[in-house]
Amino acid sequence: MSQVVVASNRGPVSFSLSDDGALTMRRGGGGLVSGLAGVASGQDVLWVCASLGEADRTAARRAPDGRIDLAGHDTGGAAVRMLDIPAATFHRAYNAVANSTLWFVHHLLYDTPRSPHFDARARRDWQSYEAYNAAFADALARDAAQGAKAAIQDYHLSLAPRMLRERRPDLKIVHFSHTPWAPPEYFRLLPDDIGAQILQGILGADHAGFLTERWASAFLDCCEAVLGARVDRAARTVTCGGHTTRVGVHGLGVDGTELRQRAAQRDVAERARALREQVGDRQLIVRIDRTELSKNIVRGLAAYREMLVNHPEWRGRVVHLAFAYPSRYDLPEYREYTAAVQRMAKQITEEFGTATWEPLILQVNDDYPRSLAAYGLADVLLVNPIRDGMNLVAKEGPVLSERGCALVLSREAGAAAELSEDALMVNPFDVSQTAETLHQALLMPRDERAERCARLASAATALPPGRWFADQLAALD
């Protein structure tokens, strides 16, 4: 029995399966894992997560009732129940609904003349999303102690709070959205009943958390416009169906101490030396992203190209290091986007490259130590998403910068709410503006750059993951 139960699609561990059937476990990453570590030592925690692939499902089947920690695996002190959700159900819930529908709505990504297209197949997919959420609600209801706190994370589990409340009305429930939230006019692209279910699902929680005031306000607007719920914006509450949900804002920063300790390890230093040899004494523009549609990599590369066209004095004097790690490659939109990134990169290299200068280095394999090394060496960090819940890259870079980097930041990133005063802000759709801003960032005096970077690092570490997670639990009191 547990005093705090946590639910998220991705858990603190994952598995791979060798040819001989042996399981290898690796620890999870990201803000949620770090945040939980800060509270797990002080109280009983059970983490419920989904099996993401066949190796995870094998591990869940071999463990007693899916309890990975009871099977002898090191889960960092937390009890972990991994749910063996049928592969077809998981695929439809995760890829067809969460990633291809809800993600697209909240990030405003649809090409509306052609999509979305909600038909009979979409309804079948939605049934799988309901079943996936119900599996989580069942597990949480079974495992939670009387009066325990349940922290349900992200858009994958929008229905789970209401389902859990119906099963266990004694629990205190918080739901946290890591994505932006769509304004009502865009949210209404969803079928009417599905949009209402999503809102009602989250309103099953006692507390609904968001990363910024902007996303919280959009949620309140949707509750009022779509559900006709009673919204008190001063108190930030929503009353619907006789239940009142408080809405809160919990910004997420980075753990500066932990990040710097990791960056000080030998593998990072080795990659930093290799990068410096590759770049030489040229200035370095860095971006680090998944090839995710919302990250706006193609326009960022186009802006770099336009800067080289309009300011030829930078040719031979600057290198753009672009980390673009493949993401959601089983979705056709993402495969095409990755190909578009590669086409733009090839165009830049062929147009400007010389025997002695490589203007662009595109890295497509995930190499975390190399990313940390790049943060330290960057003169300019480019973070230009179309729309983003937070974007921790904008916070990690200044924390690890060795000489003080200039941050070129999209006004549509959630991090803009905290970093706009010292970043150079851009409209992510304006390639020419971004090109000129990159030029200005490279020209910025080193003293000014260092002062801005220090203030950015201070803001980035003001709300570390441990505090972020603890604040969600405290809101239930």
Task: Express each pLDDT in 131-148 by its tens digit.
Answer: 999 999 999 999 999 999
Percent of the chain whose pLDDT exceeds 90: 84
User: In this structure, what are the phi and psi dihedrals at residue 130, rounded to the nearest 5 degrees?
Assistant: -65, -45
Of the two residues 35 and 388, the one the predictor is more confident about is 388
pTM to 2 decimal places:
0.94
Quickly state the pLDDT bin for 277 (edges 50, 70, 90). Answer: very high
Q: Give CA–CA dist 168/189, Å, rounded.
A: 32
pLDDT above 80 (res 76) = no
In this predicted structure, what is the pLDDT of residue 364?
86
Q: Give CA–CA dist 93/127, Å, rounded.
A: 8
pLDDT above 90 (res 229) = yes
Percent of the chain whose pLDDT exceeds 70: 96
Q: Give CA–CA dist 174/141, Å, rounded.
A: 14
Closest by CA to 33, choosing from 233, 237, 254, 206, is 254
Each residue's pLDDT tens digit, 147-183? 999 999 999 999 999 999 999 999 999 999 999 999 9
HSE, CB side, 13 Å, CA atoms: give it for residue 176: 28
Q: Rounded to a whole number, what is the largest CA-CA distance in the chain?
A: 71
195 and 225 Cβ atoms separated by less than 8 Å: no
Rounded average pLDDT over 321-334: 83
Q: Which residues contact 228 (CB under 8 A, 6 or more apart)?
A: none
In this predicted structure, what is the pLDDT of residue 402?
95
In this predicted structure, what is the pLDDT of residue 192?
98
In this predicted structure, what is the pLDDT of residue 44?
83
Rounded average pLDDT over 337-352: 95
In this predicted structure, what is the pLDDT of residue 30?
59
Sheet holding 207-210, edge to edge: 79-83, 45-50, 2-7, 144-153, 172-176, 207-210, 243-249, 237-240, 230-232
Helices (H) and strands (E) in the chain — how many of each?
Answer: 19, 17
Rounded average pLDDT over 416-440: 98
pLDDT above 90 (res 33) = no
Q: Give CA–CA dist 16/23, Å, rounded.
A: 6
Rounded average pLDDT over 278-291: 95
410 and 428 Cβ atoms separated by less than 8 Å: yes
Quickly state the pLDDT bin for 37 (edges 50, 70, 90). Answer: low
Quickly state the pLDDT bin for 38 (edges 50, 70, 90). Answer: low
In this predicted structure, what is the pLDDT of residue 31?
56
pLDDT above 60 (res 42) = no
pLDDT above 90 (res 331) = no
In this predicted structure, what is the pLDDT of residue 29?
62
Each residue's pLDDT tens digit, 101-116? 999 999 999 999 999 9
> Which of 9-13, 62-66, 441-445 is the least confident region?
9-13
Rounded average pLDDT over 245-250: 97
398 and 422 Cβ atoms separated by less than 8 Å: no
Quickly state the pLDDT bin for 366 (edges 50, 70, 90). Answer: confident
